[in-house]
């Protein structure tokens, strides 16, 4: 009897099977020639594909997904311009140290250099933004390279990786038995966890903290990515050391904790003598660790997964390793000889007093009901509505200038990884992609975006994506008529042949952003009073359906915003 004929599978199918076998559960992207079949066959293999309108938003979604899950976020693009648009996602992964993988189609290898459809040297294009890139030149290489980019994305300091799949490779075929053999040979389930590195000098770190008069613990999104919240909270509560989270570190230890120094930030960083920095870089967000914001005599203990980061910052003591593991070792060392500052310690008392004073000042401002809305009145109402949800707390997505700055001070995070914002680069346009990522990564949580109208505009069309997948996302747009708020020009600036044009900062006044989602079947709200906002929040939070709340803000309420200003 003759052997049964072998079934042939093509490169698109093999790529899809490789992703599914590697444990990829979600993929984001924009389909088209030559990758549409990769997406459809990935869905058939059990991968949920979230189709976007723009590769930038898909890339942003993948990076946030990597942060929230600890697994590489994967996004798919077409060749040429699709790859170029996807560079936004890869650069976001690089600068925030989040694991992501971009997979792009590319032109037929035989036609490279001839001006083929959407031809681009994509390996060269991605080079500044990736840890690792690879191009499959034959179908048999696809499984190994899929596993390699996924593994590299989470190795050491997380970041972006790139896989190039030429059109001819996607159309090549092999037998299903050969495909299964190749897949079995390369299977490697190791994409779930960050690996531990050898950690030294734990005793020195504990000795520095023990002898410090004004110690401070600072932690960032690297600690959040490492799932370090339990040993971090234990360290803080065992030692009584005040703590300061970076914006996306908020919630690892509740903002409401008695040792939180966020409302006394300037005092805390300006007077501490030993600072344990966990999963946060001494970049612009932390004033580079330099005077005058920090004391010239402060001793930094820097915990980072990257040896290069330690060498760059040259701290008093560097501990290279996974944040969770390092904190566990510090706690173990302290256990043998415990110490605690206590509430009556002068440093703790000074921080506590400053926190109470600044919180009281903020609450006075928040208690004022200002209509037409300034930024504080609606932000207080939103804060209270989010807190009323309880646990699991909603994931907050925040982008904008004044909107993000005020929100960082007012909105409260009490649970880990419940805040996504513009990140290390201060990138505008991440909002809707982050919302979609949060909704699929944490389906048990409501997602609430608080966006400036300018930030919203970068990716506003993705509200259709929210409706299409019926994701539990409520987008709140602070509509003040432009970037920073309408026309801010002085009279002597309104001159020249185009003086009658709208100001560079201006949008159409009173834009009806809420009607955009209604065009696709979602729910829109237009609000301008506290009662209207409270009603819209209550209804949309209860429904857990896609919604846009258009909050009309006084166009003169905001100010130009760039680097974060901390005056507390």
Q: Does a structural domain hold residue 340? A: yes
What percent of the chain is predicted at pLDDT more than 70? 95
Residue 120 scores a pLDDT above 90: yes
* Residue 399 DSSP code: E
Indicate the pLDDT class of residue 487, thresholds 50, 70 and 90: confident
Residue 57 is part of which domain span? 8-187
Confidence of residue 397 (pLDDT cuts 50, 70, 90): very high
Count of Cβ atoms closer than 10 Å to residue 414 Cβ: 16
Q: How far apart are CA 380 and CA 365, in angstroms?
A: 10
Q: Does the pLDDT value for residue 418 go beyond 80?
A: yes
Same-domain pairing of 50 and 159: yes
Question: Hunting for tokens 């032109």 — which residue is that?
Answer: 107
Q: Is 140 helix (H, G, I), strand (E, B) or coil?
A: helix
Instruction: Say if residue 429's pLDDT is above 70.
Output: yes
Report whether the peptide linkage leading into residue 34 is cis, meaning its omega lies within 30 degrees of zero.
yes
Looking at residue 485, its pLDDT comes to 82
* Banded pLDDT at 6 (limits 50, 70, 90): confident
pLDDT, one tens digit per residue, over 501-533 is 999 999 999 999 999 999 999 999 999 999 999
Q: DSSP labels for 229-269?
A: HHHHHHHHHHHT--EEE-GGGTTSS-TT-TTB-GGGHHHHH
Q: What is the pLDDT of residue 503?
A: 93
Lowest mean pLDDT among 41-45, 157-161, 512-516, 555-559: 555-559
Q: Are residues 143 and 181 in the same domain?
A: yes
| Domain C-terminal end among 139, 164, 187 | 187
Mean confidence (pLDDT) of the chain: 94
Q: What mean pLDDT comes out for the span 84-107?
A: 98
For residue 112, name the pLDDT band (cuts at 50, 70, 90): confident
Which DSSP category does 194 fall into? Answer: P
* DSSP code at position 55: H
**Which CATH number is 407's domain given?**
3.40.50.970
Judge if 475 and 553 occupy the same domain.
yes
- Residues 116 and 166 placed together within one structural domain of the fold: yes
Query: Is residue 508 one of the residues assigned to a domain?
Result: yes
pLDDT at residue 535 is higher than 70? yes
Is residue 479, in this structure, part of any structural domain at all? yes
Q: What are phi and psi of 73, to 5 degrees?
A: -80, 130
Residues 421 and 292 in one domain: no
Domain shared by 38 and 134, yes or no: yes
Of 121, 154, 187, the position where a domain reaches its end is 187
Q: In terms of residues, how long is the chain? A: 568
Residues 312, 204, 291, 422: is their CA dihedral positive or negative?
positive
Q: How is residue 258 written in tokens?
A: 């008695």
Q: Is residue 359 part of a domain?
A: no
CATH code of the domain containing 326 = 3.40.50.1220
Q: Angle at Cα 404 formed by Cα 402 and Cα 410, nearest 5°?
A: 100
Residue 191: per-residue pLDDT: 39
Query: Which whole number is the average pLDDT over 543-558?
Result: 93
Distances (CA, A) of 507 to 437, 480, 510: 28, 9, 9
Residues 220, 176 share a domain: no
Whether 391 and 338 map to the same domain: the answer is no
The predicted pLDDT at position 4 comes to: 59
Band of the pLDDT at 200, cuts 50, 70, 90? low
C-alpha 7/C-alpha 261 separation (Å) is: 64
Query: Strand pairing partners for 504?
Result: none
Least confident of 44-53, 188-197, 349-358: 188-197
Contact 29, 55 (CB under 8 A): yes
User: Does residue 31 lie in a domain region?
Assistant: yes
**How many CB atoms sit inside 10 A of residue 26's CB?**
21
Assess whether 390 and 324 both reside in one domain. Answer: no
Query: In this model, does residue 311 exceed pLDDT 80?
Result: yes
End position of a domain, from candidates 124, 157, 187: 187
Quote the pTM value: 0.94
Q: How confident is the model at residue 486 (pLDDT cuts 50, 70, 90)?
A: confident
pLDDT for 48 beyond 50: yes
The average pLDDT across 69-77 equals: 98
Same domain, 513 and 560: yes
When pLDDT is cut at 50, 70 and 90, the band that residue 1 belongs to is very low
The pLDDT tens digits for 334-389 are: 998 999 999 999 999 999 999 999 999 999 999 999 999 999 999 999 999 999 99
Higher pLDDT, 114 or 559: 114
My answer on whether 347 and 386 are in the same domain is no
Instruction: Give the tens place of pLDDT for each residue, 250-309.
Output: 999 999 999 999 999 999 999 999 999 999 999 999 999 999 999 999 999 999 999 999
Report yes or no on 54 lying in a domain: yes
| pLDDT at residue 2 is higher than 80 | no
Residue 2 domain flag = no
Residue 194 pLDDT: 35
Residues 6+ apart with CB under 8 A from 322: 194, 195, 196, 197, 226, 305
Residue 197 lies in a domain: no
Give the DSSP letter of residue 189. -
| Residue 141 and residue 31 in one domain | yes
The structural domain count of the chain equals 3
pLDDT per residue over 146-160, tens digit each?
A: 999 999 999 999 999
């Amino acid at each position: 009897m003759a052997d049964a004929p072998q079934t042939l599978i093509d490169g698109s199918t093999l790529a899809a099977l490789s992703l599914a076998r590697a444990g990829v559960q979600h993929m984001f992207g924009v389909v088209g020639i030559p990758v549409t079949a990769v997406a459809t066959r990935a869905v058939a293999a059990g991968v949920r594909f979230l189709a976007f309108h723009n590769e930038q938003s898909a890339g942003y979604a993948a990076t946030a997904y990597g942060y929230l899950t600890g697994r590489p976020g994967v996004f798919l693009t077409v060749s040429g311009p699709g790859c170029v648009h996807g560079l936004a996602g890869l650069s976001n992964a690089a600068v925030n140290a989040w694991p992501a993988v971009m997979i792009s189609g590319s032109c037929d290898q035989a036609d490279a250099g001839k001006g083929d459809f959407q031809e681009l040297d994509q390996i060269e294009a991605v080079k500044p933004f990736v840890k690792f890139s690879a191009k499959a030149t034959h179908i048999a290489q696809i499984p190994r390279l899929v596993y390699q980019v996924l593994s590299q994305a989470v190795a050491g300091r997380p970041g972006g990786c790139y896989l190039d799949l030429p059109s001819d490779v996607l159309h090549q075929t092999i037998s299903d038995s050969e495909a299964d053999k190749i897949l079995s040979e390369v299977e490697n389930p190791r994409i779930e966890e960050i690996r531990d590195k050898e950690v030294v000098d734990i005793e020195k770190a504990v000795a520095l903290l023990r002898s410090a008069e004004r110690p401070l613990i600072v932690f960032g999104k690297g600690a959040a990515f490492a799932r370090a919240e339990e040993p971090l909270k234990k360290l803080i509560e065992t030692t009584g050391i005040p703590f300061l989270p970076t914006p996306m570190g908020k919630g690892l230890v509740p903002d409401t904790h008695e040792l939180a120094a966020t409302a006394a930030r300037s005092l805390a960083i300006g007077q501490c003598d030993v600072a344990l920095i966990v999963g946060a870089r001494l970049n612009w967000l932390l004033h580079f660790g330099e005077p005058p914001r920090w004391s010239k005599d402060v001793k930094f203990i820097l915990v980072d997964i990257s040896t290069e980061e330690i060498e760059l910052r040259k701290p008093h003591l560097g501990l290279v390793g996974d944040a969770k593991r390092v904190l566990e070792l510090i706690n173990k060392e302290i256990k043998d000889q415990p110490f605690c500052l206590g509430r009556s310690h002068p440093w703790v008392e000074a921080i506590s007093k400053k926190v109470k004073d600044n919180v009281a000042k903020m609450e006075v401002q928040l208690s004022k009901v200002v209509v037409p809305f300034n930024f504080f009145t609606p932000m207080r109402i939103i804060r209270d509505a989010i807190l009323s949800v309880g646990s699991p707390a909603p994931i907050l997505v925040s982008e904008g200038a004044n909107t993000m700055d005020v929100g960082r001070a007012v909105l409260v995070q009490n649970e880990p990884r419940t805040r996504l914002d513009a990140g290390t680069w201060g990138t505008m346009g991440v909002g809707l992609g982050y919302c979609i990522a949060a909704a699929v990564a944490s389906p048990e949580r409501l997602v609430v975006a608080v966006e400036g109208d300018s930030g919203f505009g970068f990716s506003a069309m993705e509200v259709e994506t929210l409706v299409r997948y019926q994701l539990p996302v409520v987008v709140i747009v602070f509509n003040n008529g432009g970037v920073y708020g309408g026309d801010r020009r002085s009279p002597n600036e309104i001159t020249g042949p185009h003086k009658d044009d709208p100001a560079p900062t201006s949008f159409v006044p009173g834009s009806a952003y809420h009607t955009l989602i209604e065009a696709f079947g979602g729910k829109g709200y237009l609000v301008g009073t506290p009662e209207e906002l409270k009603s819209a929040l209550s209804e949309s939070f209860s429904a857990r359906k896609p919604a846009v709340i258009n909050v009309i803000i006084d166009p003169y309420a905001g100010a130009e915003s760039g680097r974060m200003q901390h005056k507390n």
